[in-house]
Amino acid sequence: MAVPHPLRDTARVLVDGHPMRTIWPGDDGRTVDVIDQTKLPHALEVARLATVEDAARAIEEMVVRGAPLIGATAAFGLALGLFADPSDAGLDAARTRLAETRPTAVNLMWALDEVTHAVAVLPESRRADAAWARARRICDDDVVVCSSIGDHGLAVIEEIWEHKGRRGAVNILTHCNAGWLATVDWGTATAPIYKAHAAGIPLHVWVDETRPRNQGASLTAWELGHNEVPYSVIVDNAGGHLMQTGVVDVCVVGSDRTTATGDVANKIGTYLKALAAHDNGVPFYVALPSPSIDWTIRDGLADIPIEERSPAEVTHIAGREAGGSIVEVRLTPDGAGATNYGFDVTPARLVTGLITERGVCAASEEGLRSLFPDSI
């Protein structure tokens, strides 16, 4: 039996009709290429990372973003740092620089730990190659894991479609971009969507614009469009109304960090969607790979660090002019103060289920333990 090759057999998400990952090692084996997400949706450009500083800045400036992709980039970043300095001091310095980039997505620390454990016991001469190999495997594993999330989430969507008497489209609301662009391939929240679309289930996705950086309007819309999944971009405040009027069958979002008890940190605004879903009896699922689970914490509100980003992301907005130039304009009065929290915490009680690579479980310690008995 042929061994499945992760790139050939599971790469699914298409750009201009071709499968493509969001991150890949350069041919020279000493650089890493990523899609520059700050340029989307207006241009598909590749950024080359050659140093640990390049990788750290790519994460900070959101050239790459989304919890699993942040982890994958950090893993390669550590390898790039070790090519330059494989000593213990070099390892510590690279790790410290990468760890300080963004605080909320726990995949970052998970990936740094994975690579560190793989190399710390090795002689300096072998560290960089071992780190590189581990980073490549983190990417390949992410593809397989997200594909599995897609399979389990497909069953959820199938059940909803059956419940609707297989009539009309299944209307799915998603927030931010927990898509292909947030992972190496497939996405987490979008993996079930791509699998259901491929299985012939009629779908329509409500895409929250996701202020202030508009990951929904810019990124989710772009990737769904390339994969011919019908969608409508909505303003962030529309979700409640849509749920009240019965045109949302299910919400599926991603997670940057899930506690051992099932609380979920995700892009700011997720909590409000969960509240509206709860009030209207709309199922609210969170799709996540196990490296997004922080097994060391139990109380999301108390224990998950919430990133605060520059007020300029709130006071200004960028877009493409009719002539094609990208311009940034001010939205607020000169001198207006602004606060920019990147994430919020949705308590487990508002989550219908967690869709993981091992199956769907309740958002609770018992639920997580049933799927990951070795981790709790």
CB-closest chain residue to ligand MRU: 254
Minimum distance from CB of 179 to ligand MRU (Å)?
Answer: 7
- Known catalytic membership, residue 344: no
H helix or E strand, kind and range, residue 284: strand 284-287
Q: Please, which residues have CB within 8 angstroms of residue 374's CB and are 6 or more apart in sequence? A: none
In the complex with ligand MRU, the residue whose CB is nearer, 131 or 154, is 154
Residue 81 or 212 with smaller CB distance to ligand MRU: 212
CB of 217 to ligand MRU, least distance (A): 12
Min dist. Cβ of residue 163 to ligand MRU (A): 26
Which is closer to ligand MRU, CB of 119 or CB of 149?
A: 149
CB of 71 to ligand MRU, least distance (A): 10
C-alpha distances (whole Å) from 228 to each of 89, 289, 324 are 49, 25, 24
Measured distance between the N- and C-terminal CA atoms of the chain, rounded to whole angstroms: 35
Say if CB 193 and CB 271 are below 8 A apart: no
The catalytic residue among 185, 208, 249, 256 is 256
Q: Which long-range contacts (CB under 8 A, 24 or more apart) does 34-41 make?
A: 34/58, 34/63, 34/64, 34/73, 35/64, 35/181, 36/63, 37/62, 37/63, 37/64, 37/65, 37/181, 37/219, 38/62, 38/63, 40/181, 40/218, 40/219, 40/222, 41/218, 41/219, 41/221, 41/222
* Residue ranges binding ligand MRU (CB under 6 A): 65-68, 105, 176, 178, 182-183, 188, 215, 254-256, 266-267, 342
- Pick the closer one to ligand MRU by CB: 148 or 188: 188
Residues forming the active site: 256
